[in-house]
Structure 1
Amino acid sequence: MTRTGADAARHYESALDHLLFFREEVDAEVRAALRDSPRSVMGNVFAAYLGLLGTEETAAADARGAFEAFRREVDPARLTSRERGHLEAASSWLAGDIHRAGRLLAEVSVACPRDALALAVGHQIDFFTGDAVLLRDRIGGALSAWDADDPHYGPLLGCYAFGLEESGHYRRAEEVGLEAVERNARDVWGIHAVVHTYEMQGRFEDGIRYLDARARNWADGNYLTVHNWWHYALYLLESGRTDRVLEVYDTAVHHEDSSDAAMELLDAASLLWRLHLAGVDTGDRWSTLADAWARRRDGAYYAFNDAHAVMAYVGAGRFSDAEALVRDRQEWVRRADPGVSNVSMTVDIGLPVCRALVDYGRGRYDEVTELLLPLRHRFHAFGGSHAQRDALQRTLVEATLRGSRPDLARTLLSERVSLRPLCRYDRQAQSRLAGRLGG
C-alpha cells in the first residue's frame, strides 16, 4: 500500500467491505482514506473506480481530472506490480477503453487472486460489457485461492453466482447464490444473483416469495435497492398483477424523491417499456421519466443508457428528443477515438436499437424487425444482463406479431416457450399469434 498510512489503510479496508456489499458508505470511506493519505496509490485508484462504476459521464469526467493530476506525481518504478496494474486499468477505463481495463484487472487477479478490489471492479466491467463467460470465470478462477472463512469470500460467491446465471448454469447459480446469502443475509448482490436464476427459469412466484422473505435485507439503504425492486416488479408483471407493478414503480422505482441516477432511470424506463409492450396504461409516468432523462443532458458515454433514454422519450411521445439523441450519437461516432469502447457499442448495437425503438413508437414494425433481428444474439455487446436485455427481445417479438412476419413470430415464441414454459408473456403472445393465424 504505497504512500498509505495505517489509518488510511483501515479506511480502505472498510471501503472495500462497503463496496462488496453495495453500501452507500463506500464513498465516505474512500474520501476518509484520501484525507489521511492524499497520495495513497490505492486510495486514488479506488476513488477513480467509484467515479466510473455508476456509468455517469459527469462523475467519470471529474474522476479523470483528479486521477490525471495524481498520476503526474507518481513514479511507476516505485510502485508494486499490483499497484501498477491498477493504475493502468483505472487510466484505461477513464480514457474510455473499458475492455482493456478489464483485461488488465484480469492480469492483476492472476498474480494476486485475493485482491478483492480487482475482482469486484473487474466483475462490474464484465457486466457493463455483457461478457457472461468472464462474469463467471474471472471470479471462478480466483476462488480456490480464498479461505472460505474470509469475510469477503461470501460476497465473492455472490458474484460467482451471478456469473454462473448469466452463462446459463441456473441450478449451480442458485446453489452458490443461496450459500452467499446464508453467509451474510445483507449480501444484496448474492440476493440479486438468486433473483436472476428465478427470472431466467420462469419461477416468478418463487422469486416473489424469496424477496418477500428477505425484504428487510435488500429493500433499502444500498445501491441495488431500486434494481432489486425492479426485479420484484418483473415478477409481479409475469404474474399478471399490473396494478401492483405500478404501485412498486411509484413507491420504489421512480418517484419525486428518486436520485435520477442513470442506473435507476434505466430500470424505470425498462419497466415502463415492458408495460407499454403489454398495452398497459401507465398514465403520465412516461412524461415524468422523460423529463428526468432530459435533465441529465447526457452526452455519448454508455450506449446501454442511451437506449433506455430513448425508451422514455418514445414512451412519452417525445420523438424529437429521441431523434435528437440519435443524431447526436451519429455525429459523435464520426469524430470519436475508435479506441473508446463505447464507439463500437454505439455503432454496432446502440444506434440500431435506438432507431428501432423510435420506429416501434411510430408503428413501423417491419422496420423494427429489420433492425433488431440481426442483433438479437449480439445485444449483450453493449452491456446489461439477460433479464435487462429481454425488453429488446420482447420488442422484436411484438414487432413480428404486429408487422408482416407471423412466421418469424412463431419461431421466436417457440424458442422462448421452450426455455421458460411458465412465462405468462410468452404464452399470451402465442395465443395472440394463434388468433391472428386463425388457429
Structure 2
Amino acid sequence: MTTADRHGHTLTDTGAEALARYEQALDDLLFFRPEVLDHARAVLADSPRSVMGRILVAYLGVLATEEKDAAAAREAFLRFRSGLDPTRLTPRERGHTAAVTAWLDGDLHGAGRLLGDLSLAFPRDALALFAGHQHDFLTGDAQRLRDRIGGALDAWDEDDPHHGPLLGMYAFGLEESGHYEHAEQVGLAALAQHPDDVWGIHGVVHTYEMRGRFADGIRFLDARTDDWASGTLLTGHNWWHYALYALETGDTSRVLEIYDSALHHDGSAGAAMELLDAAALLWRLYLAEDVQSARWARLADAWESRRDGPYYAFNDAHAVMAYVGAGRIAQAQRLVQDRERWLATAPGVCNRAMTADIGLPVCRALIAYGQQDHDRAADLLLPVRHRLNDFGGSHAQRDAIQRTLVEAALRAGRTDLARTLLSERIQLRPICPYNWSAKARLEERLGDPARAAAARARAAAQAGA
C-alpha cells in the first residue's frame, strides 16, 4: 500500500486517509500549530506501518530538545526499524530513516549532513528542509541555516502553499547571517502569503532586534497580535522577543508583565524552551542588579523538577542561570559536577563536544559571576566568546552570555577588556541602549564624566526614541 504526496514523493505503507493526516501534520509543523503531534499520531492510527508517519513522529521527539521525549522516540523508532525491510523503502525514506536514527542516537551533525543530502536529491521535501533548518538552529550554524533553505527555494513555485513558510525560514537564516534588511524583506514576503506564519514573524522580529529598531518591533508585533500572541508553539518565544524590546526601552514593568503572563506562571508546562526563555530574560535583569527573588525561586524549582540529564548543553546553561539567580549556587555546582562525571564516560555524541567545549565553561562562568568572582567569570568566557554558536541558539539568545562577559569585565575593573568589548558591540550595534549605558559606566570608572554623560544621554535618547 503506497501513496504519493502532492510533490510526488512516495509514502510506503501509507493509506489515503493516513496520507491526508500526514499532509495536515506537515502543514501544522511548518506553521507551529500545537495539533501537529495529534495529527502525526493519527497517521499511525490509520496506517501503523507508515514509514514517513513513523519518521515524522520520531522527528517530533527530538525537535523540542526534551530528553525524555527523545528517549521515548528512540525506543519506539528502534522497535519499528527492527521489523523494517529497507529494500521496500524509497531512496527518500531510506535517507530520512538514516537521518532521524542519527539524531536519535545523539549524532546531530551526522543528521544534519544526511538531511542536507536529502534536500539535494529532493529539494521539495518540506520535512527534510524543516528538520534541517531546526537542526541548524540547535547547532548554531548560521550559514547552513541560511543556505539549506536558499539552496532549495529555486525548486519551489511561489504559489505552493508551503513556499511562504520556506521564505520565513530563509528570513531567519538571513538574519542570523547578518543580512538584516534582506531578511526583513523576505520575512515580510512570507507574511504576505500567510499572515499567521509565526516563524516568519519570528524572523522579522529578529531583524528589528539586531538593528535596534525596538519601537518598530513593538509596533510590528502589536499590529499582528491575532496572528502570533496565542495558540501556537512559538507564542511564548515571540513574547520573549517583545519583552526584549520593552527591556531596551526601559519599561521593566512591561517586561515583568510579559514574564508573568506568557513566559513562566503557575500554568506553565515546564517545557525546556519555555524555561530557557524565562531564564534568559530574568538573567538580563540580574545583570542589571534587578533582584527578582520570588520569580527566580519558582523558575529554579521548575528546572529542578525536570531532572534533566546531559542532553543539550544550551539548556544546561539556562538551568544554571536559574539556580544562580535563585541563589542556589550549590545546585548549580551539582549540575556542573554531574556533567563532568558524564564526560568521563560519555559516548561520542555531539552534546559531548558542546558540553565540554562550551557548555561547562559557560556554566562555570555563570556560577563565578553569581559568587561575585568577576575576574574568573571573564577568564572563563573570554576563550569561548567567539564560539558560543557551537552550542546552539540565536544571536539574540546568546547575547545574555555576551553581556555577562561585559558586566564581569566592568565589575572586575578590567577596563581595557571592557573598552574593547563595548567598542565591538557599539560598532556592530550602534543603536542599543544597553551598550551605551554600559559605556557610560566604563567612562565613569575611567574618570571621564563628560564622556560618561554623553554615553548616558545617548542611551536615554535611544530608549525613548
2:68 to 58, 62, 73: 58
Match of 1:130 in 2: 140
Gaps of 5+ in 1: none
Matched, 1:203 2:213: yes
Task: Confirm whether residue 385 of structure 1 aligns to residue 401 of structure 2.
Answer: no
How far is the alpha carbon of 1:279 from its aligned partner?
1.6
Give the % identical residues: 66
Counterparts of 1:174 and 1:333 in 2: how far apart (Å)? 41
Equivalence for 1:361: 370
TM-score (norm 2): 0.94
DSSP-derived class of the 1:275 partner: helix
State the partner residue of 2:187.
177
Kept in 2: contact 1:246–1:282 (CA 8 A) = no
Q: Which amino acid aligns with 1:430?
A: K
Q: Give the letter for the 1:77 counterpart.
A: T
Are 2:165 and 2:190, in contact at CA under 8 Å, matched by a contact in 1?
Answer: yes
Q: Secondary structure in 2 aligned to 1:145?
A: coil
Distance in 2 (CA, whole Å) between partners of 1:25 and 1:173 is 29
Can you list the C-alpha shifts for 1:298-351, whole angstroms capped at 9, x where unaligned?
00000000000000000000011100000000011111112x000000000000
Shift of 1:283: 3.9
Q: Distance in 1 between matches of 2:420 and 2:115?
A: 41
SS of match in other structure, 1:281: coil
- Partner Cα separation in structure 2 for residue 44 and residue 438 of structure 1: 65
Pairing partner for 1:412 from 421, 438, 441: 421
State the Cα distance separating 1:282 from its structure 2 match: 2.0
Residue type of the alignment partner of 1:183: Q
Residue 115 of structure 1 and its aligned partner are, at CA, apart by: 0.3
Contact between 2:293 and 2:326, CA under 8 Å: does it hold in 1? no
Q: 1:403 aligns with which of 405, 412, 421?
A: 412
The one-letter amino acid of 1:12's match is Y
After TM superposition, list the pairs within 5 Å mapping 1:309-348 onto structure 2. 309-338=319-348, 340-348=349-357
Q: Is the 8 A contact 1:304 1:382 kept in 2?
A: yes
**Pair 1:394 & 2:403 matched:** yes
1:404 Cα deviation after fit: 3.2
Structure 1 equivalent of residue 433 of structure 2: 424
Name the counterpart of 1:434: 443
Question: Which amino acid in the other structure matches residue 237 of structure 1?
Answer: L
Q: Is the 8 A contact 1:24 1:221 kept in 2?
A: yes
Provide the rounded CA distance (Å) in 2 between the counterparts of 1:182 and 1:363.
Answer: 49
Superposition map of 1:12-411 within 5 A: 12-338=22-348, 340-411=349-420
- What SS does structure 2 have at the residue aligned with 1:273? helix
Structure 2 contact 293–325 (Cα < 8 Å) conserved: no
1:39 shift after superposition: 0.5
- Counterpart of 1:204 in structure 2: which amino acid? F
1:419 is displaced (CA, Å) by 1.6
Amino acid at match of 1:347: A
What is the identity, as a one-letter code, of the residue corresponding to 1:349? Answer: I
8 Å CA contact retained: 2:406, 2:418: yes
The amino acid of 2:358's aligned partner reads I
TM-superposed deviation, 1:389: 0.1
Number of residue-to-residue matches in the alignment: 438
Q: Note the C-alpha offset of 1:224.
A: 0.5
Q: Which whole-Å CA distance do the structure 2 matches of 1:44 and 1:192 have between them?
A: 29
Are the aligned partners of 2:118 and 2:128 in contact in 1 as well (CA < 8 Å)? yes
SS in 2 for 1:411: helix
- Contact 1:108/1:118 (8 A) holds in 2: yes
CA distance in 2, matches of 1:85, 1:312: 40
- Displacement of 1:281 after TM fit? 2.7
Whether the 8 Å CA contact 1:199–1:207 is kept in 2: the answer is yes
* Partner deviation per Cα, 1:348-400 (whole Å, 9 max, x = no partner): 00000000000000000010111101111100000000000000000000000
Shift of residue 415, structure 1, vs aligned partner: 1.0
Cα shift at 1:432? 0.5
Residue 182 of structure 1 deviates from its aligned partner by 1.3
Name the CA distance, whole Å, in 1 between partners of 2:47 and 2:56.
Answer: 13
**CA–CA distance in 2 between the matches of 1:404 and 1:76?**
63
Q: Is the 1:286–1:312 contact (alpha carbons within 8 Å) kept by the matching residues of 2? A: yes
Deviation string 1:84-124 (CA, Å, 9 cap, x unpaired) is: 00000010000000110010010000000000000000000
| Aligned Cα root-mean-square deviation (Å) | 0.6
Residue 285 of structure 1: how far off its partner (Å): 0.3
Residues of 2 paired with 1:374 and 1:299: CA distance? 26
Secondary structure of 1:150's aligned partner = coil
What is the CA distance between 1:78 and its match in structure 2?
1.2
Q: Return the TM-score normalized by structure 1.
A: 0.99
**Contact 1:293–1:309 (CA<8 Å) still a contact in 2?**
yes
Distance 2:314 2:193 in 1: 33
SS in 1 for 2:12: coil
Q: Distance in 2 between matches of 1:283 and 1:362?
A: 16
Q: Which runs of 4+ in 1 moved over 4 A?
A: none
Supply the distance in 2 between the matched residues of 1:411 and 1:241 (Cα, whole angstroms). Answer: 28
